[in-house]
Structure 1
Amino acid sequence: MRQLSELDASFLYLESEIAPMHIGSIYLFDASERETPLAFSTFVAYLRSRLHVVPVFRQRLKEIPLRLGRPYWIDDPDFSIERHLAYVSLGENSREASLMTLASRILEEPLKRDRPLWHITFVDGFRLGEEKDGKEGFALIVKLHHAAIDAFSGEEIIGKLLEYTPEPQRISAPRPWQPRPEPSEERVMIQAATNILRAPWRFASLAAGAAETTARGLIQKQLLKIPLPFPLFSAPHSPFNRQITANRKIVSANIELSRLKAIKAALGDVTLNDVVLGLCAETLRRYLGEQGADTGQSLIAMTPISVRSSTLRRTTGNQMSAMLLDLATNESDPARRIRRIHWNAVASEPYREAIAADRLTELLPSSMLALSARLYSELQIAQRYRPVFNLPITNVPGPQVPLYLQGAKLAQQYNAAPLFDSMGLVIVAVSYQGSLTLNFTICPDVVAQGDSLRNHVCESLEAIEEAAGDLDPEEMHTPLIETRNQTLLDDTISLLESALKKLTGRFRR
C-alpha cells in the first residue's frame, strides 16, 4: 500500500459535483502521414502495451473506515482498460470548435472513485485546421485526477506514453501484470492505528471532523457578525471571484516562443516565466477594462512551484509549493509591469528555494483543509471579504521536440485545470515545439464573454513588444521599490505556528 500525502488527499476532499478535481488535456494528432487512419482498436492495443510505465493507471483508492486516515493506492484487482476508454466519432467535417465543446462537456463530469482515477476519450473523424479539406487526424481527451498527479508530472506521463519517432513502432504484447492482493480490513485498521500513534495530535483533528456540523454552525454564526482580520485576505475583488457552477469552457491562444524570448532579451534581467506572467497580467487587465471592472488595484495570482528533486523524480503525486504573486496590473505600462513582476517574484523566498507543501499539510491535515474550503465556499467569504488570491497561473515547460503516436504527430495540445468555488478562472501555460499555449479554464456563468480572452492575448503581446522597444535602457538598471508580496505557505504557516505555540503554552501552564 502507498498512502496518499496530505496534499494529494486534500484534492479528494475538496472535490464536489460542481468542482471536479481532475486535470484535463486535449491532444490533437495529425495522422495525414499514415497510410491508413489510426483505428480505435490499434490505440487500445498501443495503450495496453505501455500501461507499465504509469503504475497509477492500474491503482485505485482504498479508503480507511471512518476516515481514520488518508486513503491508500492499491492495485485494482478488477482493472479493465475498457472502463477507462470511450470512443466518439464527430464525423469527417468536424473541426476544432466542435471538439472543444465536446471536451468541455466531458471535463465537467467527475471521475468515478471505484476504479483508477483516469479516463481517455478517443475522438475519431477529426480534421485539423479550418479548411474544408483539413488534414486527417484524431484527438484524445484525457482526465487524470489531481490526487494522482500535478501539472508537472502530467506532462511527464504523456511524454512516457508517446513516441519520439515518426516511424510507427511495433506494438509489443503487454507486460505480464499480476495485481498485488488487496489488503484486509484488519491490516488497514492496524496501519491507521499506527499512523495515529505516530501523530497523536492528529486524533484530535479527527474528533473535530466528527463534530463538523456543530462546528460549522458555530463558526458561521460568528463569522457573519464580525469582519475577518486575516492578513491573507488582501487580493482585490474581481469578476472571477464569485460562486461557480458546474459549467466549464476552455479558451486558448497560441504564441510563438521566439517572440516571448525576444521580449525577455529586450527587458534584460527578467526570466521567460516573468514574461509569460506579464502577458497573462496584460490580458487580464484588458479583459477587466472591457468588463468595466476596477483596475486600480493589482490582481494577486497563486503560482504553483514544482519542488521535484532533479535526482529523485517520480511521475505521480503532487510535489508542489506555491506563492502569492502581485501581478502589478495597476501598472499601465506592460513592459515596466514585467520588471515589477520579476521584482515581486525574486523578493519571495519560494522563488529561490521553494518550501515543500508537506510543511503546511503536516500542520493542517487534509480533512481540516477540506472543512476550511467548504466553509470558505458556504460562507461566501470571497464575496463578503477580499479573496486570498484572484486566480492560479501555472507555467509548465513542455517538450520542444515533436511527439508521435503510431506515426501521427502531436500537432497541438490544450490543458484544463480544476476550478475551485469562488475561483472561476485558471490559466495554464504549456510550451511545445517552439510554441506556447495559454489555456484559460473558465466557468462561463462567472466569466462573461470569456472568448474575448483569446483576442486580448494577441493584443497584449503586441502591446508588450511595443512597450519593450520604447523602454529607456537606463530605466532597466534603476532599482525598484519593494511592493506588496507574500507567500501562501509562509503566511499560512506563520499563522498556524503562532496558534500552535499558544495551544502548547496552555498545556504547559
Structure 2
Amino acid sequence: MPDWTLTKAAWLMAEHLSPTDASMLAIEDPDHGSHIQIVYVFEGTPPTQAELRETVEQRLLGAPRFRQRVARVPFNLGRPAWVEDERFDLDHHLRRTALPAPGGEEELRALSNRLLQQSLDPGRALWEMWLVEGLAEDRFAVIHRVHHCMVDGVATQDISGMMFSPTPEEDRPPVEPWTPSGGPSRAGLLVSGLSDLAVHSGRALSGLARASRTPSALWQGVVDSARTVGTLTGVSGAVPATIVNRPGGPRRRTDWVRVPMDDLRMTKNAFGTTLNNVVLAASTAALRRYLERQGEPLADGMRAMVPVSVRLDPEKGALGNQVSAIYPELPVGEPDPARRVAMIAAEVERLRAGQGVALERLMNIGGFAPPTIMEQVQRLLLINPGGHNLVISNVPGPGTPYYLRGRKLVEVLACGSTMPRHGLNLVMISYVGTLYVAICSDPDVVPDAAGFAADLEASFAELRDLAPAR
C-alpha cells in the first residue's frame, strides 16, 4: 500500500527541480539518455579503491545532491523533487575496470562509448565514477557520469574543482558523519508539489503584473518569446532536414580533436571576434566539408543549438542547470572562410540579446504550467527536429592544472548524449592551454564520424593559417 502518511516535516524536506532541470528528465527516452560523461586522464599509477573512496567522501559528498535521488510527485501534480537516497551506498557509485592492451585512445573510446549507452539508475543518486587502469604511457583515467538534471556544462567544471585539488598537496577536509533520514511520504510529495506549483504560479503572475506597468517592455517580451517558439517549433523558419537529422538508436560514438588555445586566441584576435565565434565558424566549415564528401546538398538555413550560461558569479559552485540557448543560422553554403566568420559574428550578436532571454523565460514558465503540459512543451523546445540540426556547446575550463592525490590531470575529454533526429553533438572543454573537442554521434545516423573529426581539425587549421594575413 502507498504511504499516504502526512506530517509537516515530511513535505518540508522536498526540494523540487527547477523547470530547466526537470526538462532534462522529460526529454529522456530508452534510446537517448540525458547524462553528461567526462573522461579525466591522469599521469602516474592509479590510486587504490580505498583512496578514491576517501577522496570522494571528503571532497564530493559535501554537496548533498550527490546523496539524493529524484522522486516523482504522485499523479505528476508537481515537478519532481530531490530527496535523500535512503539506500545510498557509495560503493554502488564507485566502479573500477581496466583497458585491454595496448590501452590507447581507441580502447579508452570503446569503453567510454559502452558506458555512454547505459542509462543511470533512476532509483538512486544519478551519478557514477569509474576508475580506469591500463592506459598506455603510465596513465589512468576517471570517468564521471552524471545526469544532466544535476548539472550543466559550467557546473561540471565546478565539480572538477570540488573533486580535484589545485596543488599536488591536497587539503582534504574531515568527513562529516551522515546517515540517510529517508525521503518524504507520497502524501508529503503531493502536498509539496502542489505548494511549489502554487508558489511559482504566484511569482509568474506577479512578474506579469510588474511587466504590465511598462507596456512596451511587456510587448517586446511577448514578441521575443513568440519568435523563439516559432523558430523552435517549426512554425516559422524551420531548419532543413540533413543527413545528421534522421531517426537513430542507442549506439554512441565519440571522437576527440585537440586545438591549442594559443592558436584560437591568435585567430580570434586576427578576425576581431570572440573565441566562441571562431568555434562556430570552424564547426560550420567542418559541416560544409563533411556534407560535400557525403554528396549531400549544402542546405541553407542549418541551425545550431548553442547553450549560453546565465550563471552569475555568486552562483558558481551551485549545481543544476542555469543555462539558456541561442539558435544561430550556420552559413554552410558560404565558401569564403573569412566571410563565414563575419556572418557568424553578426548572427550571434543579433540573437544573443533576444532569443536566449526568450528561451530562458519560456523554460521557466514550467514553474507555472501543469507538469504534464510542460513536459511536452519542453520536449518540443529541446528535441523538435524543426528547431535545430545539431548542438554546439563550449565550456571554459581552468588554465592551471588539477591533481588527484598528487597525480596530475593532463586531459579532460567530454562525451555528450544525442537526441532523437539529432545525431551530432559537439562538446568543447578547455583545459590548461588546449581546447578538447568531442564529436559525439549516433553511428546509425552519422556515417564516418572520424572523417568529420578530421574535417573539424582541418577547419580550425584553415582559420589559424589565415590569421597572419589579416
Q: Which range, TM-score by smaller chain? A: 0.7 to 0.9
Counterpart code for 2:142:
L
Question: CA separation in 2, counterparts of 1:370 and 1:352?
Answer: 21
Please state how far the C-alpha of 1:154 moved relative to its aligned partner.
Answer: 1.2
Structure 1 residue 470: deviation in Å?
Answer: 4.6
Question: Which residue identity lines up with residue 368 of structure 1 in the other structure?
Answer: I
Aligned to 2:440: 441
Give the conservation status (yes or no) of the 8 Å contact 2:16–2:196: no
Contact 2:168/2:406, CA 8 A, preserved across alignment? yes
The correspondence for 1:235, drawn from 225, 236, 239, is: 239
- Equivalent residue number for residue 205 of structure 2: none
Instruction: Quote the offset at 1:173 in angstroms.
Output: 4.4
SS at match of 1:400: coil
Match for residue 48 of structure 1 among 57, 67, 85: 57
Structure 1 position 302 matched with structure 2 position 305: yes
Match of 2:32 among 16, 19, 42: 19
**What aligned pairs does 1:7-406 form with structure 2 within 5 A after superposition?**
7-31=20-44, 37-91=46-100, 93-127=102-136, 134=137, 136-167=138-169, 169=170, 173-198=174-199, 230-268=234-272, 270-350=273-353, 354=357, 357-362=360-365, 367-371=372-376, 382=385, 387-406=386-405
Structure 1's 94 and 265: CA in aligned 2 closer, same or farther, altered over 3 A?
same
Call closer, same or farther: CA 1:398–1:352 in 2, change over 3 Å.
farther
Letter of the structure 1 residue corresponding to residue 394 of structure 2: N
SS at 1:93 equivalent: coil
Question: 5+ unaligned residues in a row in structure 1: which ranges?
Answer: 128-133, 202-227, 472-509
Distance in 2 (CA, whole Å) between partners of 1:285 and 1:13 is: 33
The whole-number CA distance in structure 2 between the counterparts of 1:460 and 1:277 is: 11
Q: Distance in 1 between matches of 2:457 and 2:304?
A: 21
**Unpaired stretches in structure 2, ≥5 consecutive residues:** 1-13, 203-231
TM-aligned CA deviation for residue 278 of structure 1: 1.0
2:127 and 2:261 map into 1 onto residues whose CA distance is 31
Q: Secondary structure at the match of 1:174?
A: coil
Q: How much does 1:425 deviate? A: 0.5
Deviation at 1:418, TM superposition (A): 2.2
CA contact (8 A) 1:13 1:366 kept: no
Contact in 2 for aligned 1:48/1:174 (Cα 8 Å): yes
- Structure 1 residue 156, shift from structure 2 partner: 0.8
Contact kept in structure 2, 1:108 and 1:247, CA below 8 Å:
yes
Secondary structure of the equivalent of 2:295? Answer: coil
> Judging changes above 3 Å, is the alpha-carbon distance between structure 1 residues 82 and 189 closer, same or farther for their aligned structure 2 residues?
same
Query: In the alignment, what sits opposite 2:218?
Result: none
CA drift at 1:296: 4.4
Residues 452 and 39 of structure 1, relative CA distance in 2, 3 Å threshold: same
Distance 1:181 1:108 in 2: 30
C-alpha contact 2:77 2:370 (8 A) present in aligned 1 = no
The alpha-carbon distance between structure 1 residues 229 and 251, as it changes in their structure 2 partners (threshold 3 A), is closer
How far is the alpha carbon of 1:64 from its aligned partner? 1.0
Distance 2:239 2:294 in 1: 19
Q: Name the CA shift for 1:365/1:98 in 2 (closer, same or farther; >3 Å).
A: farther
Cα root mean square deviation, aligned: 2.6
Question: Which whole-Å CA distance do the structure 2 matches of 1:179 and 1:292 have between them?
Answer: 58
1:341 shift after superposition: 0.6
Match of 1:451, SS state, is helix
2:396–2:429 CA contact under 8 A, matched in 1: yes
Give distance in 1, aligned partners of 2:152 and 2:46. 32
Q: Matched residues in 1 for 2:289 and 2:354: separation?
A: 27
Moved more, 287-296 or 50-59: 50-59
Q: Which amino acid aligns with 1:117?
A: L
Tell me: CA distance 1:366–1:301, structure 2 relative to 1, closer, same or farther (3 Å). farther
**Deviation at residue 361 of structure 1 after TM alignment:** 3.6
Contact 1:87 1:122 in 2 (8 A): yes
Kept in 2, the 8 Å contact 1:427–1:439? The answer is yes
Alpha-carbon deviation of 1:281? 1.2
Amino acid at match of 1:282: A
Shift of 1:63: 1.5
- Which residue of structure 2 aligns with residue 5 of structure 1? 18
Structure 2 letter corresponding to 1:261: R
Structure 2 counterpart of 1:310, one-letter code = D
Instruction: Write the deviation string for residues 164-189 of structure 1: whole angstroms up to 9, x where unpaired.
Output: 1123x365542222434422333222
Report the number of matched residues.
426
Cα contact 1:53–1:160 (8 A) shared by 2: no
Q: Kindly provide the CA deviation profile for residues 65-84 of structure 1, in whole angstroms up to 9, marking residues without a partner as x.
A: 11111111112222110111
Return the alpha-carbon distance in structure 2 between the equivalents of residues 94 and 412 of structure 1: 16
